[in-house]
């Protein structure tokens, strides 16, 4: 059995992940040297926790994990409701704080909802390939999808909500939904996006979009961090300025350098070669995940893999 498990491992994904973790830990070492390495210690703790979990999951058939996903789905919905009553952090009620540890239910929801949607779609498909395009079945899938998405929007966390939308799109496309639904969805998005921007999004969300498109409209305010991140990326040149030696990073111009702008730190201190390697590793990860989806033994495995490929893609984007 061990030989079978080792044979079925997609080693390219594992190797890419290990390299990215190492680069990330090195970058965090530099980013946290002035804060007693607090974020680095937390990251190392989560890496140590994740390794035995990964090994255990290797020995569990994904059929079993998918079958218990309705239970996990119910638990995560309860957590997403509960987190709305926590103390806001930076204007969002997204975290449970338990001493030094913070848990964000939306991150767990990404995986659990992929499993739940994959199970639901695969069961519907067993009754016929065209069942997925029947209105009652499609409405059931949308209901399962909309509940956690609505709760995440309420936090508010629009980025994660977008990740949920993309997961649904990818999985329905892989399931072979009829083209008329795809065309109708595209038209709906084209109509809905400007309406949401002008009449639904709060002012701070509009500002983030505007600044993303043109940071120079507010160079000393909302656009400041984006401009500094670009300066950091350019300053790294080919080989970088060296660990602990980045001007933007170490002089406090790059914030938050342990999360949103960690790639800028990598670019500044490790240079274009390492920064490019990070991008290439993510491309390989996504490509390998799509390959796993195409070669999975059944529809359930294929839908899970394509959902996770989406997750990797948006996590980097």
Domain boundary among 171, 201, 231: 201
185 and 105 in a common domain: yes
- CB 196 within 8 Å of CB 165: no
Q: What is the pLDDT of residues 114-170, one digit of tens each?
A: 999 999 988 888 877 777 778 788 888 889 888 998 999 888 887 788 778 878 888
Q: How far apart are the C-alpha atoms of 269 and 249, rounded to whole Å?
A: 8
Supply the range of the domain harboring residue 99.
72-201
The winner for highest mean pLDDT among 48-57, 67-76, 254-263 is 67-76
220 and 197 in a common domain: no
State residue 296's pLDDT score: 84
> Does the pLDDT at position 4 exceed 70?
no
175 and 76 in a common domain: yes
Based on the structure, what is the number of domains in the chain? 2
97 and 172 in a common domain: yes
Q: Which residues pair with 101 in a beta bridge?
A: 98
305 and 275 in a common domain: yes
218 and 143 in a common domain: no
96 and 121 in a common domain: yes
219 and 134 in a common domain: no
Q: How far apart are the C-alpha atoms of 66 and 41, rounded to whole Å?
A: 33
195 and 213 in a common domain: no
For the beta carbon of residue 165, count every other beta carbon within 10 angstroms: 15
């Amino acid at each position: 059995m061990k030989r079978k498990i080792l044979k079925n491992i997609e080693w390219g994904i594992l190797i890419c992940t290990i390299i990215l973790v190492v680069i990330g830990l090195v970058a965090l070492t530099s980013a946290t040297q002035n804060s007693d390495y607090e974020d680095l210690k937390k990251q190392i703790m989560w890496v140590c926790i994740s390794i035995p979990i990964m090994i255990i999951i290797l020995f569990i058939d994904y059929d079993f994990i998918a079958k218990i996903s309705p239970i996990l789905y119910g638990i995560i919905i309860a957590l997403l409701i509960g987190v709305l009553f926590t103390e806001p952090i930076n204007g969002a009620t997204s975290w449970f704080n338990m001493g030094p540890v913070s848990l964000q239910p939306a991150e767990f929801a990404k995986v659990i909802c992929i499993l739940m949607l994959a199970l639901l779609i695969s069961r519907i498909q067993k009754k016929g390939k065209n069942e997925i395009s029947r209105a009652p079945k499609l409405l059931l899938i949308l209901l399962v999808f909309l509940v956690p998405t609505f709760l995440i929007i309420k936090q508010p966390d629009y980025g994660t909500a977008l990740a949920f939308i993309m997961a649904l799109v990818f999985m329905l496309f892989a399931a072979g939904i009829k083209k008329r639904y795809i065309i109708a969805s595209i038209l709906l998005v084209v109509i809905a996006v400007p309406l949401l921007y002008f009449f639904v999004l709060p002012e701070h969300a509009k500002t983030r979009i505007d600044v993303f498109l043109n940071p120079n409209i507010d160079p000393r305010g909302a656009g400041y961090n984006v401009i500094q991140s670009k300066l950091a990326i350019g300053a790294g040149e080919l080989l970088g300025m060296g660990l602990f030696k980045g001007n933007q990073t170490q002089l406090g111009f790059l914030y938050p350098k342990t999360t949103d702008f960690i790639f800028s730190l990598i670019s500044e201190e490790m240079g274009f070669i390492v920064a490019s390697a990070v991008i290439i590793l993510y491309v390989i990860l996504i490509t390998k995940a799509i390959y796993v989806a195409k070669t999975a033994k059944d529809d359930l495995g294929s839908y899970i893999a394509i959902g996770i490929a989406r997750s990797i893609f948006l996590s980097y984007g």
